[in-house]
């Protein structure tokens, strides 16, 4: 199938696109769309994370679980929402930690993280699609195999990446990352239910930049300019 994804990723993942599980994902999405189900993010944005952050440019990986399932929210970047949409609570808590960690004042009414993605932050959800108003509805259709392959590719073919694993789901997803080659940062999830139990104070953003600079890699400007 002709997947609309940047050249670097398309070449590196070419075998995945031919596998039965991936063809099954495509078939299921086609059936749901034909039956008038609303799927998020919109089709052209399903691979937005890969089209905004090419394989050769990845410096940091932030693993999310599921796209937002409300109208006009998801656009293919984990934790990010489209322009004009108020940041959800987890993203607000991420902003609070950046302010505490780096002293950067973050916007409260702007949640599009494309600026991070363009600098090399791969904002990767474990599932790349979801049915409208039905959280985790596509978590079992095969996306987990694809995103596991992405993480394995990054782990084996790159070095000196920073993986931010927030919450048990992300920690399990990244359980096999080689910590002798990469920096793996773990914390509680930034959701309102867990942020004060180990996300606040994790200082992942300063730690990431320190590691990148020690590795001779340009750091990330975490400021989001609305």
pTM for this predicted structure:
0.97
The stretches of the chain forming alpha helices (DSSP H) are 7-12, 14-18, 20-34, 48-52, 89-102, 114-117, 143-157, 167-173, 204-214
Q: How would you label 101-114 residue by residue, b for 16+ Cβ within 10 Å and e otherwise?
A: bbeeebeeebbbbb
- 101 has catalytic annotation: no
- 179, 181, 187, 188 alpha-carbon torsion, rounded to 10°: -80
User: Strand, helix or coil at 101?
Assistant: helix
Q: What is the rounded CA–CA span in Å between residue 159 and residue 205?
A: 18
- 108, 110, 115, 120 alpha-carbon torsion, rounded to 10°: 70
Q: Residues near 40 by Cβ (< 8 Å), separated by ≥ 6?
A: 67, 68, 69, 70, 73, 74, 129, 130, 131, 132
Q: What is the rounded CA–CA span in Å between residue 218 and residue 153?
A: 22
Boundaries of every domain in the chain: 7-214
Yes or no: say if 49 and 123 are a contact pair by the CB < 8 Å rule. yes
pLDDT in tens, the chain (226 residues): 457 899 999 999 999 999 999 999 999 999 999 999 999 999 999 999 999 999 999 999 999 999 999 999 999 999 999 999 999 999 999 999 999 999 999 999 999 999 999 999 999 999 999 999 999 999 999 999 999 999 999 999 999 999 999 999 999 999 999 999 999 999 999 999 999 999 999 999 999 999 999 999 999 999 999 8
Which class is domain 7-214?
A: alpha beta
Going by their DSSP bridges, the two strands 130-131 and 39-40 should be labelled as antiparallel
Please pick, among 2, 27, 57, 66, the residue that the annotation labels catalytic. Answer: 66
């Amino acid at each position: 199938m002709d997947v609309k994804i940047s050249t670097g990723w398309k070449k590196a993942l070419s075998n995945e696109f031919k596998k039965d599980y991936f063809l099954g994902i495509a078939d299921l999405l086609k059936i749901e769309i034909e039956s008038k189900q609303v799927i998020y993010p919109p089709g052209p944005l399903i691979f937005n994370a890969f089209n905004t952050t090419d394989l050769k440019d990845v410096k940091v990986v932030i693993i999310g679980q599921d796209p937002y399932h409300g109208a006009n929210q998801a656009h293919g970047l984990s934790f990010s929402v489209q322009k004009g949409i108020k940041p959800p609570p987890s993203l607000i808590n991420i902003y609070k930690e950046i302010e505490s960690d780096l002293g950067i004042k973050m916007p409260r009414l702007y949640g599009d993280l494309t600026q991070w993605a363009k600098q090399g932050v791969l904002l990767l959800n474990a599932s790349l699609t979801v049915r409208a108003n039905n959280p985790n509805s596509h978590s079992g259709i095969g996306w987990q195999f694809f995103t596991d392959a992405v993480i394995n590719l990054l782990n084996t073919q790159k070095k000196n990446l920073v993986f931010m694993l927030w919450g048990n789901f992300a920690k399990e997803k990244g359980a096999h990352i080689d910590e002798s080659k990469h920096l793996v940062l773990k914390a509680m999830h930034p959701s309102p239910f867990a942020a004060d139990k180990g996300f606040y104070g994790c200082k992942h953003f300063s730690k990431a930049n320190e590691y990148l600079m020690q590795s001779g890699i340009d750091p990330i400007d975490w400021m989001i300019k609305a």
